[in-house]
Amino acid sequence: MNWNIVLLALGLMGLLGAAFGIVLSIADKKFYVETDARVEQVRAALAGANCGACGFAGCDALAAAIVAGEAKANACAPAGANGAGQIAEIMGVNVAVGDTLVARVRCHGAHDVVKPRYPYEGYQSCAMAASLAGGPKACRYSCLGFGDCERACAFGAIEMRDGIAKINPAKCMSCGQCVAACPRNVIALLATDDAAFVACQNHDAGKAARAACAKACIACGRCAKACISGAVTVQNLCAVVDQATCTRCGACVRTCPTGCIEGRIAKQ
């Protein structure tokens, strides 16, 4: 073995390594972009789920956008009022914090409540099932129960039970990803202090609605007649509660013959 050649090769490699190191060092200084310290502070105040509900590609991107003035301080819904307040303080701005929202399922269509239309054995996806003759459940407005919303939830707040989505309000961060994932528009973000709540969206005539689902709104109007504040109306064959005028008297909840209205009732 010619050791001179080996030593020469090692020497050349060392020189090349040192040269590359110097070039990289110069490039690092030349192209260095100073990062605003507020980006990390804002990032720490975000929810950290990278759910994408804000419209940006994760929390890092949102933090940079907030500091750059391209997004509002309350753009991260999962961070809640507390997170928005911290970010507003970091940015030195005022921020309006609205009602705390929570996802609600506007359907009671579990397997033992809604009637089946046909046996479905395809891919377990609500979007896929909805595209096949309107879905396997008799109610064309019902939750299909194949878990698209559950898979979209980054906070583990949703689970499928008996063919319908169940949301744990304590875990819900109001990101809205489940709302976007539902092909039937069954899930809505509503204020957590909602009183009466119509868990149905069936707009078919009463007889057809009841034939499809035992807990469907049949537009009988009893809830509207029982409501002393005028908060309940029947619109397009389905009851609707105006949360601004609801007094939580519970009359509509007690009166509904199918049990499709639910909510917290004020003590008498």
The average pLDDT across 7-16 equals 71
The average pLDDT across 64-73 equals 88
Band of residue 29 on the pLDDT scale cut at 50, 70, 90: low
Q: Which residues pair with 165 in a beta bridge?
A: 160
Band of residue 108 on the pLDDT scale cut at 50, 70, 90: very high
Phi, psi of 180 (to 5 degrees): -70, -30
Phi, psi of 230 (to 5 degrees): 70, 20
- In this prediction, residue 224 carries a pLDDT of 96
- In this prediction, residue 113 carries a pLDDT of 95
Percent of the chain with pLDDT over 90: 48
Of 194 and 129, the structure prediction assigns the larger pLDDT to 129
Q: Which residues pair with 105 in a beta bridge?
A: 187
| Identity of residue 76 | C
- In this prediction, residue 104 carries a pLDDT of 92
Q: Give the torsion sign (CA, 85, 91, 92, 96).
A: negative
The average pLDDT across 64-71 equals 88
Of 91 and 7, the structure prediction assigns the larger pLDDT to 91
Whether the CB-CB separation of 80 and 108 falls below 8 Å is answered with no
Give the tens place of pLDDT for each residue, 32-62. Answer: 555 778 888 989 988 888 888 888 888 999 9
- In this prediction, residue 161 carries a pLDDT of 94
Total-model pTM: 0.74
Residue 146 CB contacts under 8 Å (≥ 6 apart), including other chains = 124, 125, 126, 128, 129, 160
Q: How far apart are CA 253 and CA 247, in angstroms?
A: 12
Give the tens place of pLDDT for each residue, 119-172. Answer: 998 899 999 999 988 899 999 999 999 999 999 998 999 999 999 999 999 899
